[in-house]
Amino acid sequence: MAETINKRLEDLREVMRREHLAACIFPSTDPHQSEYVADHWKAREWISGFNGSAGTAVVTLTSAALWTDSRYFLAAEEQLKGTEYQLMKLKIEGTPTIAEWLGKEIMQSRHPYEDWSEVAIDGRCSSVNEVKELITDLRKQNGLTLRTNFDPLKLIWKDRPVIPENPVEIYPIEYAGESSRDKIGRIRQALREKHADGLLMAALDDIAWTLNLRGSDVHCNPVFVSYLLISSKSVTLYINKVKLTPEVSAYLKAEDIKVEDYEQVENGLKNYFEYNILLDPDEINYRLYEVVRNKGRRDNHPQTEIVEEESPVKRMKTVKNEREIAGFRSAMLKDGIAMVKFLKWLSECSDYSEYSEISVSDKLESLRAEQPLFRGISFDTIAGYGAHGAIVHYEATPETDIPLEPSGLLLLDSGAQYLDGTTDITRTIALGPLTEEMKRVYTLVLKGHIQIELCKFPSGASGTQIDILARQAMWREGLNYLHGTGHGVGTYLNVHEGPHQFRMEWKPAPLVERMTITDEPGIYLAGKFGVRIENTLLIVPYKETEFGKFLQFESLTLCPIDKAPILIDMLLPEEIDWLNDYHQRVFDTLSPYLSDDETDWLREACAPI
């Protein structure tokens, strides 16, 4: 693979020399700023060989580097071996920004290209805010400039996959809980409050949620490639029409939604007739922003003012209605049944060496597939045994797959898409004897998990204010993790949903009633093992006082937490009480759906400590 990547770099540099480019930047996103993208837009993976969901590759005429976060440090080091790429670890002291690195690298290689100071990035796959920030940062590096209208891979990526043409399907109102027409009415009201006449929607999960449609264009994410333009008088969906079945076309017509070809979105913006339009600068790509900004300057169309604010759809989508909440409960029940069947099967294995990371992942998926309304996994399962558990987003391949052994820890992070909800759960499982270090780390993670679950907080608090609860015990021992502690979860949509989250970095998005969010602290010791424990939570009322409305968390996830690694003396009485109460609820809820043998196993797994 390294040889292939180095050849691609040679081909890229030939293009760069013809275009007089000093560097090219390849982000991980698509024109919709998606976290997970269709194969057509996996430019960063194609040019670097690194396949994590987050990262940016940068190539100059003489060097190459890749920036990614702590979830992928170990995986990236392995995948970049033998290539020119230098790994840049985000949020680690001493790591330069992309602009700083480019300033230094381009200055060092100026001869004989001393006049080449232009850096290219595909403006169609970069958000407005990202491009604006990059323009400012590059300007500080000896006047480097940014070109946004060029995709060099069009010239060298010969077998590039086409944009998906998979059919779209209607998401039943019995699960959506609100009609598309009513959602659009609420969106228009929110736009009026922001003094905006219309909105261009680019986020694929926002579009799917708004229209009560689902697709399969992105692996594990039930979305479809499109744009949605809402004005005060009309709604237009920009999509490849081959994706629309007669049933979906009739549904859109009945909902009074016009349909235009996906590639016509620029013309739609040029012909947009209202005074202003809201463009979320974190969601809209720079190319479309420039179309609106230059409208009237280069043609005869009337000028349109841009309202640069967060799309109101993001937060609407995160607050679940009663049908969606009922769907989550149903999905978590099915998922809990599958997890118990899996954990019982795993505990009864007579010879672990017969099974590997991939085979246990396949087994779990097969058990989930037996459940009603199963539609697939919600992300690629992370099954990391031993040292692989320390690779935060490890995904076993035939080359890295290892057999299990009757000792140590298996970290299993997985989830499913059911028609009525999306699940995300992590359990770290003892397969046999453990070291004291393993037990201590496991218990610290469990303490952090429980403290989040126990939290009571005023409505509107930020997840950043709560994040410390997951880390305080491990910080006292000089331990930490660099990923977030929790993220929102969609309703048969993307498993990662925002903007709310638990995170060390300041994220002002408020936490309010009826949001879902995960609770997943972890500790990872490179070369040894990793521990993570995760439930998906629902934010529910706690009490009202003279100081306002207070909220708390309810665990939606129904699955026993392994007790074998726990050092009970490290737990506070309230933490023991929470674990026992949680296990009692898991047993009471799941046991009616299990066989006698499975119920007996679950009774022991949920026995109080």
- Give the tens place of pLDDT for each residue, 476-496: 999 999 999 999 999 999 999
pLDDT at 507: 85
Residue 123 contacts by C-beta under 8 Å, 6 or more apart in sequence?
Answer: 131, 148, 149, 285, 286, 287, 290
| Tokens (6 digits) for 291 | 């179309």
Percent of the residues in the chain that have a pLDDT greater than 70, as a whole number: 98
Q: Mean of the per-residue pLDDT values for the chain?
A: 95
In this predicted structure, the answer to whether residue 212 has a pLDDT above a threshold of 70 is yes
Please state the rounded mean pLDDT for residues 456-470: 97
pLDDT at 110: 60
pLDDT at 295: 85
If pLDDT is split at 50, 70 and 90, which confidence band does 393 have?
confident
Residue 260 contacts by C-beta under 8 Å, 6 or more apart in sequence?
Answer: 236, 237, 238, 268
Helix, strand, coil in percent for the chain, rounding step 5: 40, 20, 40
Please state the rounded mean pLDDT for residues 41-53: 95
In this predicted structure, the answer to whether residue 548 has a pLDDT above a threshold of 60 is yes
**In sequence order, what are the beta bridge partners of 541?**
551
> Which of these, 404, 418, 412, 359, lies nearest to 381 by C-alpha position?
412
Handedness of CA 413, 503, 443, 588 (dihedral sign): negative
Handedness of CA 238, 241, 242, 244 (dihedral sign): positive
Percent of the residues in the chain that have a pLDDT greater than 90, as a whole number: 92
Query: What's the one-letter identity of residue 9?
Result: L
What stretch of H or E contains 523?
Answer: strand 522-525
Handedness of CA 109, 113, 115, 119 (dihedral sign): negative
Please state the rounded mean pLDDT for residues 522-547: 97
**Lateral strand order in the sheet of 456-458:** 456-458, 548-555, 535-545, 516-519
Q: How far, in Å, CA of 221 to CA of 218, rounded?
A: 5
Residue 195 contacts by C-beta under 8 Å, 6 or more apart in sequence?
Answer: 276, 307
Residues 300-343 pLDDT 10s: 777 899 999 999 999 999 999 999 999 999 999 999 999 999 99
pLDDT at 115: 64
Please state the rounded mean pLDDT for residues 249-262: 98
pLDDT at 74: 85
> Which of these, 347, 335, 429, 355, lies nearest to 602 by C-alpha position?
347
Residues 214-224 pLDDT 10s: 999 999 999 99
pLDDT at 298: 64
What stretch of H or E contains 121?
Answer: strand 118-121
Ramachandran sector of residue 183 (left: φ over 0; alpha: ψ -120 to 50; beta: rest): alpha
pLDDT at 241: 98
pLDDT at 468: 97
pLDDT at 302: 78
In the block, which residue shows the tokens 């922003």? 289
If pLDDT is split at 50, 70 and 90, which confidence band does 71 have?
confident
CA atoms in the 13 A half-sphere facing the CB of 237 = 29
pTM, two decimals, is 0.94
